[in-house]
Structure 1
C-alpha cells in the first residue's frame, strides 16, 4: 500500500510539472482594436495565444508605449495585424508571434527603432513597413515569409538603405510591390516628401510575376533585382533621380495594363524593354534626357500598344513619327 501511494504521489508531481510548461491555447474570437496602453495591458493579462480576427494597435488618447503585455500571442488570423501611430520604440512582447495570416502593417510609429522582436514570425500574407522615421533596419523580418500573391510595401523608412535581409522571404509572385518615398511631418507643419535611401533592389530577385509594381524615389542607379520579372499588370517607374538605365527590366515580356515611365532625369533611351511583347498602355513623360524611343518602335508600329502618351521629354515622337521611322532625335 505504501508503494502504491508513493507512485501516485510521484505521478501527481510529474503531471503538475508538465502542465506548467505547456502553453495552452487561449483563443480570442473576433476582431480587436487597442487604442490605449491600458487596453493593451488588459488584453495581455488575459493571456490570449490566438486572435481569430484582426488586431489593430493604434494610439488614440493615451499613448501606447509598450507591447510587452502581449507576450503570449502566437497567431493573428484576421485581415491584418496593424501597429500604427504608437510611441513604442521596439516590438518587445511579440517574440512568440509566429503567424500573421494576412497583412502585417507597421506604420507611422515615429519613435520605433527596431522590429527585431518579430524574428519568430515565419508567415505573413503581406508586409507593409511605412513611415517609421527612426527605424534603423528591417532586421527581425528576415523569417517572415510572404505568401504567394501577397503584398510588399516599403515606404518612407528614411534611415534604411539596405533590404538584403528580406531576400529569402520574397516569393515568385506578389500581388503588389511598392517601394516609394515617405512623408515626414510634425503636428504644426505640412508633410514633406522624403526619399528613403534604399539603393539596391537585389532582394527582389526571386520575383517572376507581380500585379502592381511601383518604384518611385528610389536612390539606386540600376533596377537590377527586377530582372527575373516576366509579367506584370502595372509598372510605374518614376522620380528615381539616380537611375541611369531600365536594363533591370530586361526579363519583362508582358504588361497587361499600364506602363508608366516618368520623371527620370538621367535616362537617354529605353534599353531594357526589348523583350516586351504585350503592352496595353504606355505613358512616358517628364524625362529630361530621353531622346531615343527605338526600343519600343515595333510595339507601336505593329499596334501592340493600344494607348500611347508621350510628352514633356527631351524628344516627344508621335505615332506618325514612329511610322516614319523617326524614333529618336
Structure 2
C-alpha cells in the first residue's frame, strides 16, 4: 500500500475549509443583498362594516423581486384577511367589528421575500355608531330638493355609497348647498361630489370623518374650497380631485390616511397643495395636468409610495415637498413638466422600482438624483431636449427594457456604465449622440437591440464586451456611422439569433464582412 504524506491531508483539509467558508460567505452576501421594507398600517373605520369591505393596503417592497404578505397574528381571530400578492386588507367577519366588544383590532403582517422579512403592525380603530341614525344602503341625490329631504333625517352614517350631483350625466345638478348634511359623520362606501355647476363650497360636510372606499370630487366648475372636509382623516381607497375649474388650493383638507391613490388632476387654477401637510400615509401619488401648480409642498410627511407620477404641470419649477421620500416601489414617472431642471428632491430615494419613465421635460438638465435607485424593469428616458447625459442610472445592472429616444443634447450614454443585461434596448433619434460610451459592460441583450436615426454616431466601439443578442439587431439610418467593429464579438458568437438588419448607415457591413474583419471604412 502506498501512503500519502501528512502534508497532503493537511493541504486537503485547508482547501475544504476555504471552499466551505467562501460558499457560506457567498450565500450570506446574496442574502444580505435583499432588503424588505414594511410600513405599519393604521386606519379608523365605523363599526359593523360590510363583509369583503377593503380597509386599505399594507405598504411593503423589496430591493429584488417581489414580496408576499401573510398575517401571523391578530387580536381577534378571523376578523380580517390579507391578499398575499397585493397586501390588501379585507373584512372577513363583520360581526367582530363591534365597538362595544372590540374597539381596537390589531394584528401583525409578515412582509417577506424568501427568508428575508419585516413585520408590519396593523391597528384598526372602530368608531361607535348610533344605530338610530344610520341610513342602510346607497343614495343618489341629484337635486337640491332631494338633498334637503334626505338631510332632514339627520343621518350620521350611511352604510353604502353617497352620490351628490349628476356624476357622469351630461347635465349639471342644481345643488348649491350641502348644509342639510351637517350631521353626517361617516360613509361606508364611495362618496361622489360631481356634476354640480353652482356648488361653491362643501359646507355641510364639516363633520365627515371617514369614507370607507373612494372619494371623488370632480366637475364642479364653481367649487373654490374643500376646507369644509377638515375633519376627514381617512379615505380607505382613492382620493380623486379633478376637473374643478376654479379650485386654487387644498387648504383645510387635513386628511391623514389615503389607502389607495391620491389623484389630483386637470384643475386649471390649482396653485398649491399645501393643505395636505397632515397627510401621513398614501398608496400612490398622481399629480397631473394642473397648469398653474407651482409647488408640491404638503407632502413632507410622506416617506414611501407605490407610484409617483408627476406630469403635465407646466409651471412646476421643482419637486420641493418630496424631499423626505425614500421609497418608490412600482413606478416613477416625471413627464411634461417644462420648467423642471432636475430631480434633486428625490436624491434619498433608494428603490428597486418596476419602471422609471422620464419623458417630455423640456428644461430637464440631469437625472443625477436617481443614483440610489438599485434596479428597474423598464427605463424610458425620452424627449428631454436639454438632458446632457444619463448619469443617475449608474447603479442599474439589469433591466427588462431600456429606451433612450429623442434627447437632442445627449452626446453619449454615460450613466449606463454598470448595465450588463437587458432584454430590449432601443437607442433612437438622438441627433447629437456621437458615441455610445457607457455601454462598455453590456454583455447580453436577450431579445432585441436597435440603434436608429442617430446622425452624429460614428462607431460602436463600446460594444466590445457584448457577446449575446438573442433575436434581433437593427442598425438603421445612422448617417455618420462608419465603424461597426464593436459587433465583432457578438457576431463571432453567432449573434444575433434571428434578424440582422443593417442599412442606411455610412457603412453597412454584412455578417460575413464583420467576421472577415471588414467592419469599418
Tell me the TM-score normalised to structure 2 length: 0.49
Structure 1 residues without counterparts, runs of 5 or longer: 1-23, 184-192
- Taking a change above 3 Å as real, the CA distance of residues 98 and 50 of structure 1, as seen in their structure-2 partners, is same
Q: Residue 225 of structure 1 aligns with which residue?
A: 415
CA distance in 2, matches of 1:255, 1:235: 7
Out of 306, 317, 321, the position equivalent to 1:140 is 321
Residues 205 and 225 in structure 1, CA contact (< 8 A), matched pair in contact too: yes
- Taking a change above 3 Å as real, the CA distance of residues 208 and 293 of structure 1, as seen in their structure-2 partners, is same
Q: Residue 201 of structure 1 aligns with which residue?
A: 390
Give the C-alpha shift of residue 134 in structure 1. Answer: 1.3
Residues 166 and 203 in structure 1, CA contact (< 8 A), matched pair in contact too: no
Out of 240, 248, 264, the position equivalent to 1:56 is 240
Tell me the TM-score normalised to structure 1 length: 0.75
Out of 246, 251, 258, the position equivalent to 2:448 is 258
Give the C-alpha shift of residue 63 in structure 1. Answer: 4.1
Residues 113 and 135 in structure 1, CA contact (< 8 A), matched pair in contact too: yes
Q: Residue 293 of structure 1 aligns with which residue?
A: 484
- Taking a change above 3 Å as real, the CA distance of residues 178 and 285 of structure 1, as seen in their structure-2 partners, is farther
Q: Residue 328 of structure 1 aligns with which residue?
A: 520
Matched, 1:105 2:295: no
Matched pairs, number: 291
Out of 341, 355, 362, the position equivalent to 1:161 is 341
- Taking a change above 3 Å as real, the CA distance of residues 198 and 138 of structure 1, as seen in their structure-2 partners, is farther
What SS does structure 1 have at the residue aligned with 2:489? helix
Residues 336 and 359 in structure 2, CA contact (< 8 A), matched pair in contact too: yes
What SS does structure 1 have at the residue aligned with 2:438? helix
Out of 85, 99, 106, the position equivalent to 2:266 is 85
- Taking a change above 3 Å as real, the CA distance of residues 54 and 202 of structure 1, as seen in their structure-2 partners, is same
Q: How does 1:1-329 map to 2 (within 5 A)?
A: 27-36=210-219, 41=225, 45=229, 47-59=231-243, 62-70=245-253, 72-78=254-260, 80-87=261-268, 88-102=270-284, 104-148=285-329, 150-171=330-351, 173-181=352-360, 195-218=384-407, 219-280=409-470, 281-306=472-497, 307-329=499-521
Q: Whose helix fraction is larger, Structure 1's or Structure 2's?
A: 1
CA distance in 1, matches of 2:348, 2:460: 30
Give the C-alpha shift of residue 46 in structure 1. Answer: 5.9
Q: Residue 174 of structure 2 aligns with which residue?
A: none
Give the C-alpha shift of residue 39 in structure 1. Answer: 7.3
Give the C-alpha shift of residue 170 in structure 1. Answer: 4.5
Say what the alpha-carbon RMSD is for the aligned residues: 3.1
- Taking a change above 3 Å as real, the CA distance of residues 194 and 294 of structure 1, as seen in their structure-2 partners, is closer
- Taking a change above 3 Å as real, the CA distance of residues 285 and 29 of structure 1, as seen in their structure-2 partners, is farther
Q: Which has the higher contact order (CA 8 A, sep 6+)?
A: 1
Give the C-alpha shift of residue 136 in structure 1. Answer: 0.9
What SS does structure 2 have at the residue aligned with 1:125? strand
- Taking a change above 3 Å as real, the CA distance of residues 279 and 50 of structure 1, as seen in their structure-2 partners, is farther
**Could you give the per-residue CA deviations for residues 156-212 of structure 1, whole angstroms, max 9, x where no partner exists?**
2222222244233142x33222232269xxxxxxxxx97453334333334333333
Q: Which shows bigger deviation, 34-43 or 263-272?
A: 34-43
CA distance in 2, matches of 1:91, 1:207: 33
CA distance in 2, matches of 1:316, 1:44: 68
**Could you give the per-residue CA deviations for residues 200-250 of structure 1, whole angstroms, max 9, x where no partner exists?**
433333433333323333333343333233333333333333333222233
Give the C-alpha shift of residue 29 in structure 1. Answer: 2.4
Give the C-alpha shift of residue 44 in structure 1. Answer: 5.8
CA distance in 1, matches of 2:432, 2:234: 45
Q: Residue 12 of structure 2 aligns with which residue?
A: none
What SS does structure 2 have at the residue aligned with 1:221? coil
Residues 285 and 313 in structure 1, CA contact (< 8 A), matched pair in contact too: yes
What SS does structure 2 have at the residue aligned with 1:298? helix
CA distance in 2, matches of 1:181, 1:251: 28
What SS does structure 2 have at the residue aligned with 1:77? strand
Q: Which shows bigger deviation, 130-139 or 316-325?
A: 316-325
CA distance in 2, matches of 1:34, 1:128: 19
Residues 145 and 169 in structure 1, CA contact (< 8 A), matched pair in contact too: yes
**Could you give the per-residue CA deviations for residues 31-61 of structure 1, whole angstroms, max 9, x where no partner exists?**
333214677955961633333323333216x
CA distance in 1, matches of 2:399, 2:478: 25
Residues 235 and 260 in structure 1, CA contact (< 8 A), matched pair in contact too: yes
- Taking a change above 3 Å as real, the CA distance of residues 272 and 180 of structure 1, as seen in their structure-2 partners, is farther
